[in-house]
A and B are shown apart, each in its own frame.
Chain A
Amino acid sequence: MYTPGKGSILPVATTAAALPVTGTKNVVEIALAVAAGLIAWAALYMARSRANQ
């Protein structure tokens, strides 16, 4: 049975931490780079999983 909201405390806490937005100009570029990295990582993982089947 699922505990309601299990695991949701993490994104809420980080959202709250992100609210006082200041500073770095290129944070959007960093975020895009991280997102692209995660997508590439996911694609690699799936390709390896398929190869192992």
Chain B
Amino acid sequence: MALVIPAHNEELVIADTINSAMKSGQTERDIFVVADGCSDRTVEIAAGLVGERNVLAQPQSGKAKAILHAIQHFDIAGRYEWMHIADADGVFDLRYFTEIGERLAKAGANIVAATGHIQSLEGGWISRYRTYEYTIGLEILRRIQAFFGVIPVMPGPTSIFRTRILRKLDFNAGSLAEDMDLTMQIHRLRLGRIAYFPKAKTFSQDPKDLGDYIKQISRWYRGNFQVIQRHRIGLRRQKIDAYVTYVMVEQWLLVAGLIFIPFWCWFSTNYRPLAYMFLMDALFFFIFTVGAAARNHRANVVGAFPLFYILRFLTLVIFVRSWFEIVVQHKFSTPQAGWSVAGRRYRIGTGTVSH
């Protein structure tokens, strides 16, 4: 399996990512770095670790095109059966590639792609919220999605493709969410199943502050709506259409409820429905937060619990705003060659990863 790492000015983190890949079972000669418009020491650091022959430096063209150029330049499809794409800011668990290798060796021919588990690196209160989100979103929802064959996205830190499908994929979509776009192409073209390997863990960096969080979530949701429009999701008779439609309807019901119920309570001067809603939500939200903390052995996740409401509310507001920008205003319709990592990177110190 080839590991392809697209990078854009990642001098702070690229060495940790490459070193952790090698420690977790990926051999040096099978790691490839494509430096997209890097003006820092990314190329020099990567070449020092995997050799100059395994590093491709190119003018900035965006993440998806950088991956495509790496596939062509290094002849990934001709030399390998599987290709793993990983963001340059993650750290792999010590058994990550061993686990992936064992699972792929047993995978049937109908498995054409796979994704592992993401865990948040230790950090501030936003990382603690992410620990909650990843536990609910991956430990529970991802397993259900995998069972029904409706995984909507193989995320940037852990996307694996069988190389025979690569020539069928379009890397030129110019989407803000290239990982979701590629995943949807697998569904639309009926190329095969996507597997989920929960024991293959990779650690991801989270936004440092609220401003970065808003930028990141905005990009994700804008990308979500772009992909939904591009692939006309919800309009065809595929399982993925049913699932994404269900998720969207659920989200809009929540938005409608949060607007309508307080207004109705105020109008009828009966605030009991609102009180019940809040108390039930707080109870279940707290129980799930304690569960996430226990699952990840991070007691400090519970300590930040009240602040999670701020992020939940912000996320919902950004969801509505992104829908308006993409669906109503048709913003961001020109191909995107940018990266959204500027300012988000930090050196991964010792003690941030709990294997």
Chain A interface residues toward B at CB < 8 A: 1-15, 17-19, 21, 27-28, 30-32, 34-35, 38-39, 41-42, 45-46, 49
In this complex, what residue of B is CB-closest to A19?
B273
What distance in Å separates the Cβ of B324 from its nearest Cβ neighbour in chain A? Answer: 16
Which A-chain residue is minimally distant from B224 (CB atoms)? A4
Smallest Cβ distance from A27 to chain B, in angstroms? 5
- With both beta carbons as reference points, the residue of chain B lying nearest to A35 in the complex is identified as B278
What residues on A are CB-neighbors of B217 within 8 Å? 2
In the bound complex, do residue B251 and residue A4 qualify as a contact, i.e. CB atoms below 8 Å apart?
yes
B137 contacts the other chain (CB 8 A): yes
Given the complex of chains A and B, what is the CA–CA distance between A19 and B152 in angstroms? Answer: 31
Cα(A42)–Cα(B274), bound, Å: 22
State the CA gap A2–B137 with chains docked (Å): 9
Cβ contact within 8 Å between A42 and B307: yes
> Are A28 and B244 in contact (CB-based, < 8 A)?
no
Q: Which residues of B contact A19 (CB under 8 A)?
A: 273
Among A3, A12, A45, the residue within 8 A (CB) of B306 is A45
* Interface membership of B31, Cβ < 8 A: no
Q: Which of A8, A17, A32 contacts B250 (CB 8 A)?
A: A8
**Across chains A and B, which 5 residue pairs bring their CB atoms closest together, nearest first?**
A31-B275, A2-B220, A42-B306, A6-B137, A5-B247
Q: Provide a sorted-by-A list of 23 A–B residue pairs whose CB atoms are within 8 angstroms.
A: A1-B220, A2-B153, A2-B221, A3-B141, A3-B153, A4-B228, A6-B133, A6-B141, A7-B137, A8-B247, A10-B284, A11-B312, A14-B281, A14-B283, A14-B284, A15-B281, A17-B280, A27-B275, A27-B276, A30-B275, A32-B275, A42-B307, A45-B304
Is B271 touching A34 in the complex (CB atoms < 8 A)? no
Expressed in whole angstroms, the minimum distance between the Cβ of A12 and any Cβ of chain B is 5
**B223, A31: Cβ atoms closer than 8 Å:** no
